[in-house]
Chain A
């Protein structure tokens, strides 16, 4: 098992051993209408101290990926294939495959909120409406550190609230989420997530519900906390501006798959996948006169129950290769050499038959 991961790391060649390696992750929803391939073969690495941005249109499986890593996929969804390896700090044991752990077992529950924490888009509904903010922070602290007394945990909760910049934290700790403003609420959510010093913070569209000023403040806060604590952040967003500002690496997702995985500068400078190119073209630029329609990507995202065969992007792809793209699935493979090459899943870069998967469907 370790060998496989080691080989993987060598193959993606991203310098030091990553914190989290996700390989061929498939999470499907078995509904009455059919099977939704919400996540269908996702690959990426998250490195300590770095931010991985995950970007893609609505419904491409970003949130389901996050929930899969935390093993909180709700019914009728299920991880059907793949691995999620969490690597311990150097020299402290073997990596563990989270997919193999029982989702409500003690090992996984120690990781949930302990090693990996989650911040959601909706700070209002992410807190219980009938419990105080402090109650939930204290509960989490004591759950992961049994030696903590109530009083100590409370002090720590107040400290956390101060750290995320909440004024009068010793009073706010006894307030309910709905008594806080949107920005403070999201700060409290971050305090809750960081209460047990996670090594990885998954932030699922943490600023979408906030106004622009608050949004910038929260992103600033995340950056500061990352610098102070050296944690990894997996930042999910469909805002490319946020990606440009925050991310070190980017994974572009389309229909449950990562189609391109590259360092952020490289991605913006020379996007390789046709979908990434279309996505970047759709950003409003300063040259576009106001009120002019934004360039959007041709076509619409297919219905999740009606996935295209072959390369999932082929019905919308301007450069699709007839005879190949509609019948074969391209693998995510490195382009070029060097220490951290970009990974792209497209037959333009890896001609069919040249190491690409010979899969038909």
Chain B
């Protein structure tokens, strides 16, 4: 088990490194460099930067060095929490996304919890009562959840919420708390605003979760150990919960890792529609404005999130599946 974990952690580190290179590539991608953009920005505002001045600036920022040197310098900065300057916001990247990152995590986790809380029982019901009317209804709703984009549902909820209930469902905070410092009241306000975005963001994940759980469980229900458990006199409902559901949970648990970053990146448009203060909309703007340090940083963080999520699901898998736990013992 230790060997397994160490192997996974080493793999995670290597992946993180690869992600960081990719992020650096994104930062380097546009023609020219930061100084070119700086010169362009300066000349737009009327002042001229001489060629000599530009060379000095390049030396100062190390931009005359080969790419790999630049990469390691950048990495060194990133490790210290210095993500560079956002050109669009004219503030350090860390400052721009700091608060939003926390809120993004909260919204995503809420969506994840929602996904699980509903997908599990519905998936189980659907498999145990295969081909029942309930199963057909659930499967149908599941397909809708997969096929209809989240922002569409967000728009519909915004519209109907406003029209019939006079509700303003957008945002994560009420007006009086939006700019206020953190307090108990603000946290409660957030909790009240959370369910609807979490529901919308979790919907496609939930639809997928139901399908995965249903398919896994249908496979497991046919296994002989289910029949032997019944033959021992266990109550059928308990048999299903203790044995096949338990086994079917494993592949389900291993999807958390992928679901988390999927929710974050999938939330961009929904966040725009619902005006959620998460990193999604910022990433979109940064990409449009070629604000490369900001975009690169967000990509880097999303990548790390995926790696951490995958590692987490691996650990969960180890904890719940003895077949992996005891492998190589």
Q: A residues within 8 Å of B by Cβ?
A: 67, 70, 72, 74, 104, 109-114, 117-118, 120, 122, 125-131, 136, 139-140, 143-144, 176, 178-179, 189, 192
Q: Are A129 and B323 in contact (CB under 8 A)?
A: yes
Q: B224 at interface (Cβ–Cβ under 8 A)?
A: yes
Q: B235 at interface (Cβ–Cβ under 8 A)?
A: yes
Q: Are A127 and B233 in contact (CB under 8 A)?
A: no
Q: Are A178 and B247 in contact (CB under 8 A)?
A: no
Q: Are B228 and A126 in contact (CB under 8 A)?
A: yes
- Given contacts A176-B322, A178-B323, A126 and B225 within 8 Å (CB-CB): yes
Q: Are A129 and B231 in contact (CB under 8 A)?
A: no
Per CB-CB distance, the 7 closest pairs between chain A and chain B, nearest first, are A113-B232, A112-B233, A113-B233, A118-B231, A109-B233, A72-B230, A125-B224
B234, closest chain A residue (CB): A143
CA separation between A192 and B323, bound complex, in Å?
A: 21
Give min CB distance, A312 to chain B, whole Å: 27
- Given contacts A72-B227, A128-B229, A109 and B235 within 8 Å (CB-CB): yes
Q: B73 at interface (Cβ–Cβ under 8 A)?
A: no
The answer, among B232, B322, B326, for a CB contact under 8 Å with A112, is B232
Q: How many B residues, CB 8 Å from partner?
A: 23
The answer, among B224, B230, B233, B246, for a CB contact under 8 Å with A130, is B246
CA separation between A360 and B232, bound complex, in Å?
A: 41
Complex contacts, B246 vs chain A, CB 8 Å: 128, 130-131
Q: Which of B124-175 contact A (CB under 8 A)?
A: none
Q: Are B323 and A112 in contact (CB under 8 A)?
A: no
Q: B residues within 8 Å of A by Cβ?
A: 223-225, 227-236, 242-243, 246-247, 250, 320-323, 326
Complex contacts, B232 vs chain A, CB 8 Å: 112-113, 117, 136, 139-140, 143, 192
Task: Tell me the dominant secondary structure on chain B's binding face.
Answer: helix
CA separation between A131 and B323, bound complex, in Å?
A: 10
- Given contacts A127-B225, A129-B225, A140 and B326 within 8 Å (CB-CB): no
The listed residue with most B CB atoms (<10 A of its CB), out of A114, A118, A126, is: A126
21 contacts between A and B (CB under 8 A): A67-B227, A72-B230, A109-B233, A112-B230, A112-B231, A113-B231, A113-B232, A117-B232, A120-B228, A122-B224, A125-B224, A126-B225, A126-B228, A128-B229, A129-B322, A130-B246, A131-B242, A131-B243, A140-B233, A176-B322, A176-B326
Complex contacts, B235 vs chain A, CB 8 Å: 104, 109
A63, closest chain B residue (CB): B227
Complex contacts, B225 vs chain A, CB 8 Å: 125-129
Give min CB distance, A99 to chain B, whole Å: 17
Give min CB distance, A243 to chain B, whole Å: 23
Q: Are B227 and A130 in contact (CB under 8 A)?
A: no
CA separation between A151 and B224, bound complex, in Å?
A: 28
B231, closest chain A residue (CB): A118
Known A131-B246, A178-B323; further 5 A-B contacts with Cβ < 8 A: A110-B233, A140-B233, A143-B233, A176-B326, A189-B228
CA separation between A151 and B235, bound complex, in Å?
A: 23
Give min CB distance, B263 to chain A, whole Å: 28
